[in-house]
Structure formats: structure tokens, C-alpha cells
Structure 1
């Protein structure tokens, strides 16, 4: 059984491998056309052979174009037993595709046959056909443009024939010319051509869908001849503005009449080409003039058959030539400086600048300075003082020499000599000289012209001190004597000090030179003042610095800024004017570290000084105690004020101390004590008209405990008070007039002064005290009361009062009081008055 299973698997695999091949031999596809136009329809049929035993009579034939199934197939059974399926594709939109005939085999499609479909367009007409007769290769070369791609393989053929009557009559045909692959040009050899005879030429394009041809070209091969360019040669020319040329033609075109064109342009610069046309070819020479001297030029030439038709040759290879030099045509502006070496010799430094008088003034190769002593002929001038290529020269002259000659030269000769006359400074000076900086690279220098007006000015400028004198000196001459200033732009740099000198020149003399210093732009100072600590305290620090001396070329400081930072990185700053040289920092914390630095600012920028670190002094221990004590005292005062406000509120029912009425507005005589456990007193009406006014009433509370630290031993008037008292002072009657008559003695019961000792709430008796006074307290005329008039009051009216013995230490007599001694004692006139209580 195992062997049978193995054979079954092998047989099935062989059937699967052999089955597709056998199915492919069963069908065949035929097309209505293998190549069609893009977008045209195509019809295909697939026929299944009747001998194909693997397919049943009802097998369905399917069509695929590429990878997509195509609907619309019509299947039929033919009489000979074959099956046929036909499909029409309405549009072929791909230039190449595959059409397949398939049947279903199991769950998949099996291809029976395949066919390739090609689609494209007929060939477009070639255009722009042109031909040239090349005498070098001795062939007719034609080229064209094939037009748009047809997507099909297209063959091009260059066809031609000999003809007469302007190509109306065809005579002998010429061998077709087939171009190389992917090329659009073809050459007809000279042996197939007949010169000076017309021929008709066209291009034919052919592919599977059709044929097209270009427009016909009728020409004579010699009418389209293209000559080779000539070869240029240079000849020597004695004129500085001209170039002498010659050229040589190719041998094949020597017997052809032609004309040539020459173009040239300067080798340097952006000038365009200049054209010289209609040069005859038989002369083979030409002189080109009107050029710049000492200038390199590039030249090219081309030729064409003339007067018969033809084509221009290519431009010849470039030829580079330089025109000859001419003697310089310049004006030399001169300036000089003299220094007396001794009594017989003068050191002269001569400066000059060439100013071209014409556009092509000639190249200058050097300069010569001559001096001809008086009384000698011109031969002495051949010994130059200087021969240099620079624009200055230094030489020695005798003191009597007043003039030298300066010339510029090159290989073509020398310029006209320029006399240099050493003038004396006898002319008037400039009225005023000033400068103004326009931008960092220019300085305006102005002046007021003197009277008479000069005919020229010499302006010199160069770096000022500390640069060495005469280094990098610049100068120029202004020939317009009416101007009042000029702009200096050469070699002007910012942040540099320049010394500017202006000298007026007159006809036979010159004025004295005037100097001025100027900057085009100032720079920030190189360093700032160094910051120092002068004094320091607990909450302040005094800083100082020494301002720097002004520097040349450096912008002065406009202000200072002090920055300081504490240990918590809190930053502070203040701005000071430029005249400041010190500052005191206030509001610092004691015993704290600070970082301070100074920044100096000018119009050109800002720069920082070195940083300074300082620490304020710490507070002493005594100062700490004082501060803590003040803080505690302030806190106590606040608490006391709060407590007093709380306790004195009128809405409280139980005050901390008894409420005492105003005695000055009460009738004290009607206050009678009652004998109860808790004493209750009836106060008289404040509106009692019989109540005498009380000038001063003092209530003293006597404590049984020992005096505390806040107790006082002071006395009122002449009374000594041994215990702590609490005083209430009431002045006058608010309803009484401001001036009250003094009561008469013996007729008034008023008490004008009195003191009561004791507490109204204490169980013991109180003390009533009368003190010495200048006012009569009783009816007598004595200024002070007697000792017996000070009585001891009992707490009960039934008890007999005991007299109070006078105290030797005090001037007052203490005696027992009633429960409310203030109200009772003031009604007492003597001992006999006690019975009334």
C-alpha cells in the first residue's frame, strides 16, 4: 500500500507537468492584423483542435489582454468538430501587448495560445531638409528632422534623381542613401553627383502602417557649397592704432570666387564684436585700423562663395594680436617737498600723478626727471635725476635750482615735458579749514577760499600721530580754484586719525599749508577705568574710579553704568554721567557678598571693567540687642493699644474698673452711702443747679500689697503719697461760664481742692486728705485748713469718728473714710458736720 501511494503521487505530478504543454498544442490564435493604428479595433479568433482529448465538448474559451480578462467572446462549434471563439477589441490603446486564448482547468486558467499586438501611427513627413556641398569631403551632405515618433520601426531613405527644367523632368536616378541607425543625415558621394546640374532630393519614411515623404528639394550641388574657413596670419604694422592681417584659403576653394568677413574685439573687457565685411579674397591681406594702442585683440574670419549662391563657412580659429604702443599723451600733476640739507644742497621729494588727455593715451612704462643747469645746452638733459616706474622720486639739487622737467615714456617715445617750478610761500592763506565725516570710508574737507582766489589746491592726507610722518601719504590736485571743499575717499578707513593738509596754489606763488586732524569714524576706547572700593559699611559701599585720559581716534565716554549682584543673583544697576568718578551703593544687606562691575559707554560702543567683589560689615551684638528690644517694645505697644481699645468699648457690660461719673457736673452733696453688702450709690443729677463746681478732683486707690516696680512716690502739691494712686482729673463745669467768681469765705460751702485715699470696693475705711492750698477751703480767712478740720470718717454713720493724728513725715492728715469717701468728704465742714451723715 505504501508503494501504491508513492506511485500515485509521482503520477499526479507527471500529469500536472505534462498537461499544460499538451493543452497549449490544442489551440491556435489568428488575428485580423498584427499591427494596427493606435485606437483602432482588432478581431481575433481562437480555434481548438478536435483531436484535443483533454478538453470536453463544453469547455469555455476565455480571452485575456495582458493580465485582464476581456468580455465579449463568441464561442461556436464548427461542423468538423472544432471549437472556435471570436472576440473584437474596440480600441487598442497600447503600443505593444499580449492577447491570450485560455480555458478553465480546475480552479485556474490555462493558456492555449498567445499573440502579440502592436499599435502605432503611420510615419510623419520629414521636414527641414537641407543639403550642403562639402568640398573637403567632396560629397553632398543632407540632413532633416524626422518628426514625431510613430511608435513603430521606421526606415528613412534619401532619394534623388538628376533632372532638367528645374526638376520638372526626371532623367537619371541616383542611388538611394540610407542613413545609419538613429541618425537623420546622409551623404551622397561626389561620384554619384553631376556638378552644375539640378537634382531633386527628398526623404522617404516607411513603417508597417504606411509611407510618407518630405517636400522635394531642387538644387545644384555647387549652389549649396560650404567653404572651409581661411587661416589668419599677422603682419607687422608701424601704426599704433592698426593691425596688419593676411590669410590663406583652402586648396579646394582656390578657384571659387568668394568674399570674407572679419570680426574683432578687445581681449579684455566686455566690448561686443566689431564686424568688417566684404573683404575681397583675392588680396589675401588687410590693414585693420581704428584700434586702441597697446591693446590685445581677438580676430576671426569666414568666407562665402560670391557672387554665386553658397553657404558661409565656419569662423576661423581665434587669432590674438596686440596693437603697437604710442608715446604717452598725459598731463602730469606734480607736488613736492623740500628739506635744506646744508647751505648748498636741498633734498627734494617729487610726487606726480598722470592724467590721460585722450582715451588711448598710451601705456606708460616709466618716468624721467631732468635738471638742466643754467648756461648749459640741451645735452645736459640726457642725464636724468630719476628713472623710475613709481609715482615719486627723491633727489638732491643745488640751492639755486628752481625748476626740473618730468616726462613719461614707453617704447614708442616720451610725453611732452612737464616743468616743475619750486614756488615760494608768499601767497595768502586759507581763511578757514574744517572737516566732516560722511561715512566710515570718506571725509569731507572744506575751506573758505582766500582773496585773491587761487587757481588750484593741493590736498594731502595720511595717518596722523603716532604713525611716522610721510607714511602712506596720499595727495591730489584740484585745478578748480573756485571750489570750497572736496571729498576724500582713497585709503580712508574708520577708527583712524588722519592728518589733512591743504595748500593754495597761485599763478607764481603758493600760500602756506594748513593742517587739520579728522576721523572718518571713531572707535570705542580700548580700556575702562579700574573700579576700586574706598569705604564700606554695613549697608553701603563707596566706590571710585579714575577716568582715563582721552585717546586719539577713540570716542569719549558718554556715561557709566554700575551693576551689582547679591548672593541671590538679584541684579541692580544705576547710570551715571561721564563726569562722575565715584558712587555710593545704598540699601545693601549687612554681612552680604556683592559682585560689582563698571561699564563705560561711548558713541562707538561699550566696554566693561574688571569685576569687583566686596562684602558688607556685619551687625554687632549690642546693635542686635537694641534692634530686638525696639522690636519687642513696638510689639508691646501694639498689644496694649489693642487691649485698651477692646476694653474701652462702650458696648461692654462689665468693665475692668468701675465707671466714675464726672464730679464737675454732679451734685456731690446728695450722694449718701447705704449700708449693704454690695454698696450702691445714687448719683445726683448732673443738671442740679445747686452743685458747686469742682476745680480738681483726684481719686487715689490704695493697694494693700507691696508697691510694684511701676509704683511712684511722687506727691501732689505738698502731699506725700506713700502708695500707688490712680488719678482722675476733671477741670471745671462744662456748663459753667469761662470766668466764675471766687466764692466768699464764710458764706459758701464749696470745696475747691481735696484728695481721697482708698478704694471704694475695699472693706476698710477710706481716708480723706486736705492739702495746703492758697485757696480757702473752709469759711475762715486762713490760707490753709487746720489740722482738726481733717477728720477720720467711719464706715457707718452710727460710729463715732476717731481723730486722725497728723503724720510727721507728711503734711497731710489721713483719716477713715466712708464707703464712698469722695462723695461724703466733700460735704464736710468740720467735726460738727458728721452728725448729718
Structure 2
């Protein structure tokens, strides 16, 4: 064994080991393998293509032969990495596999020899499927007046997965004389014009061939005068007009005819050709409308003897070929529509001007700023991000103008009327909330038709305003004068909105017609604050405040008062009060201490209760105490006035001394032991005896006046008491 044989043996062993661990797709020719070979029937070997081909959809029989018989081994076949299950073993060295209805154009087979320990590759084979050619169709031929050739083309039909050749034959009359017999692979052919006569009809037949058969087209009647088409035109120049939505094309052709019409198609970034109507300005000059700004266009033009050229896929002989493409980019588009503008007043001379940005389809580029004018003078400017501006204006100014400045021009000035027309606003109909709770349908009526006019002027348009309560940012829309309804969207359920409609006329702005509405009512989020003004026995006077608007979340249709007695029986009273009535009422109630709570209800239901309050009636003793205190106060007042009289004061003084205790006056005698009493008794003839506790001896009695009696000294305590009485 030479060196080269050893090297090849080791290469085969390594490849075999590698394929056992990770099977790879085999190459077309595996002749170097020595374990065996594969055969397939029915197949065809195409030497020029170096392929083994079969007819798609046929049944194939594959035989795997192994050179060395190994009884403990098994022959298996994989088709596209899947094991073939329909097989039978002929002997230890041969197995037959059946493949049914093979549809895949490209397949590969791998025969393997498998034993307990190892799997080895025997051989592999690539299969190529194909189909017979279909009949060529859509045969067309055309030439120009000055051309020396006739160009013919056709469509091949369905894919065959095999190389197909075409034989082109031209017959005169009954096919007795062949003028052309040419074979090629392309689906078009150029025929010399000299082989046909101008007024003679010929038959053109296309025959397609491949390994599985042939197919012939229907005869095409070839007559020179019928296949002559106009010369191909040329685009000389493209110019975009001031508006970027139109382009003017200048073109010419060597074949001028009064019957010719020109057609244009253009290609944009969408990748498809689009036919366009044109306006012929003059001979060789046409305009294309409805272009998009800042867009790259590719233009082509052709001429036709009829209107058939409108179809871009049409290649009828009556139309020329499409010209060479000419590129052009449309410029930016300046805005052409007025802004929607409105205003509101913050003071007598301060106006808040409102506007909406221009529609994106009306201009190209970006908005740079907004300008506000009055009396043809610029009053203020605002950045592109703003939508309103406060402007101080003189009292005599009756209108403002607003314009948006873009990269490619400014919008026409839009007038903002500041005067009032003096007429009432449109008549609002019932506002209808949408079912989804985020929109409200607003409709109105305006006297007469769109041509109706009054002293307020002719109707120009309407403006609808809406703002949530509590107040947030004002929102508005401008509507055409022929419109009498609109849908306000983007509203929030449970939020109250004030909607107003204005009529803008040539005489100014009408008064608003306004109404409050909820897009969807919800239950209140809290209860009203309740106060008890008077609580009597079995009767109570209560008062409550309105709920804040943001807590109502709907129109309050009624209030419900819950009164619970806190005595032993705990009876509960429920009273429903209309939401539109007074918020103060007398209520008959049980006696004793009461717990009261109030709720509010909307069309969506009853809300939670407010803070509970406890009240009890005033105690009866309180009135008696008041009366007693009043009487005592009155008595003290009268007494104080009486003490101002001296005679009365003296009598009170002596009365008090006589009522005082014994120690008030020094050595006051006891009446029963008085000597005067005894003398009186002596006069009656009775004898008396002096005792140890008798009065002292009588001193001479002298008469004194009342004035002198005032100077009689008494004991210090009596004097202090007397002074006290004097002060009273």
C-alpha cells in the first residue's frame, strides 16, 4: 500500500466517524465510499446539468446495496433527515425502499448501515424534481415606425424547476414556409423586420422544451401594420409650480400625430407605479396635480392612439413604450387654510386670544411662530408651542387677526371678532350624553336657514365652548354655519361641564346659550354637612349645606335624612327631601336624644352619609331657673332703690337692731325682771321682792328728742352694724 492510499483511507475513516456523530448532507458524488451504492428508479440523468432528475409527483424505488454482508447490521434510508418506513430487506447486503408521490423539487437521500455499536454511511444521492413546461402565453409583438426590428415577448407559465428553452417560429399563411426558427432561453426575442411584408399576415408560434416534454403557444397573428406603435417620447424638464402639489413636465417625441394622447405614471417611495391624470397646457407641456410635498418622484411618459394607455399594465400596440425615468423632488407646501381662532375676555381691555394649530396635511415643514395683528399692525407674537396669548387692546379695536408662520409660508389671516352682535344665542336642545360616558352630543337651532340675517348680521360660523366645573382650561371648537350639532369627546364621568354655543355673524358674536351637563352621572362621594338649629320635645329644626361640585358627581335629585332615637327602642326615621327644595326644615321626631345623618342621591344612586351628629332637647328646668333669676334680680333692684330713702333706711336699721341677738346691745335688761314692770305690778297692790338678777336701780327718767337719741352711744358692735345698714 502506497502513501497516498493510506492518506485516503484515514480521510474516509475520519469522515465516516464525523458523519456518525453529526450527519451532514452528502455531496452529489460519493464515489470514494467503498461500503456500497444507491440506485433510484425511475430517474433521468442529465449529463449537461450533472443532475439526477425525476418527475414531481411520481413514485420512486430506491435500492441500497452494501458490498460486504454483515448479518448483525441493518440497512436504513433517510430522506431529508427523516427515516423511510416503507422498505423490505432482500438479503443481508440489499434493501429496497419505496417513496410515494415525491413533491419536493430538491431532496437528498442517505443510506446507512447500522449495528449495535456504530452507524456507518453507505452512500448518498441528491434528487432534483421537475415539471413539463406550460404553454407560453400573453405573446405580444411591437415595433416603431423607424425601427428595423420587431420585439416580441411572452410569459412562460408555471415554474418547472428545470431549465427551459424556447423555439420561435414564423410561418406564412398555412405554415408552408418557415421564415424563422430560433431557439433560446429568454422569454423575449428580436425579429428582423425585413423578413415580413407590411400587409402580409404571419403566424408566430412559441414552443417551450425541457427534459420532461414540450408545450406550444397559441398562434399569434403577426401583421406589421398592426404592431407599429408610436415612438418613445422623452421628458426634457420637470418644474414644480409655486404650490408643491403640482409639477409641469416638458417633453417631445419624433412621432407627432393629432390622434396621440400622452399619459404619465410616477413612482414614489411606496415602490409601485401610479398612473395620473394630466392637464395638457400646450403641445409638449403638461401638468400633474395632487402631489405630496417634500417627496422624491420618478416620472415616465408614453403616448397612445386611444385611451387604453391609462392602464399601467397595458402593453397594447396602440401605445408607445414608457420613456426613460426622470427624477424630481417636490418642494415644501405652504399653508392655505385659515386658523380656527376664538377669544375670551379677562378684563375690559385684556383679551385672551385662542387658536388651534394648522392641520398637518395643509402644510409641510414646521410651525415657527404665531402672529397677532390689529389695525394692520403686529400686536404680539407667540412661540410655536403655544395656543393662546393675552393681548392688551384699545377700546376702539373691534377685531384681531391671527396667522401661523411655517417653514414654507404663513397661513391667511384669521379674524377674531371682539364686538357683540346684540342678538341672543342659538337655542340649545337637550344635551345627550353618549353611552360610553366620555362624550356628549350637543345640538342647537338657529332661526331661518343659512342665508338668514338680522340686525346682528349674516351668520358666519358657530363656536362651541365647554369647561369643567370647578373651572379648568377652556376648550372650544369652531363649526361650519351649516352644522347644527357636534359631539364633544374626551369628557370624564362624574365631572360637571358648562357647555356654551355662540353664533358668530358679520355683526359680531351673539350671547351664549349655556347648559350644565354630565357625560355620565355617578354617586356622590360624601354627604352634606348637617346642623341642628333648634331641638324641642318631639320637634327639631335642621339645616344643611350644598355639597361641593366635585363631590356631587351628578345632579342631586333628593336628600335622605336618617334620624335614630338613642333611647331603649332605637327607632329609625327616614325622610326624603327634594334636591331642588329649601335646605332648612322642621321635622317631627321622637322624644329624647337623636342621632342624625344626611345623604345625597343622583340618578346613579345614593351616596355615603355625611358626618353623624347627636342632639338632645333642652332640659325643662332651665326655663324655671331663668324665671327665678329674673325675679331675684328684679327684687334686688327694687330694694336698692328703696334704700335710698332715709326714713325707710332708719326703720330698717332699728328693725335690724331689734331682730339682732342679745349680744348686739350691752346690758340689755330682761323684760320680766324690769323694775318698771314691778312698779306697774305694785300699782295693782302686789308686793315684789328684789332678786339677784333684777335690774339695777332706776335712775331718774328724763325726756330727750329724736335728734338727741341719734347721739346716744351704743356698743362698738352695734355701731359697726349701724354703719353697715347706713351703707346699704
TM-score, normalised to structure 2, is 0.40
Please identify the structure whose Cα radius of gyration is greater.
1
Tell me which protein shows more helix as a share of its residues.
2
Higher RCO, 1 or 2 (CA under 8 Å, sep at least 6)? 2
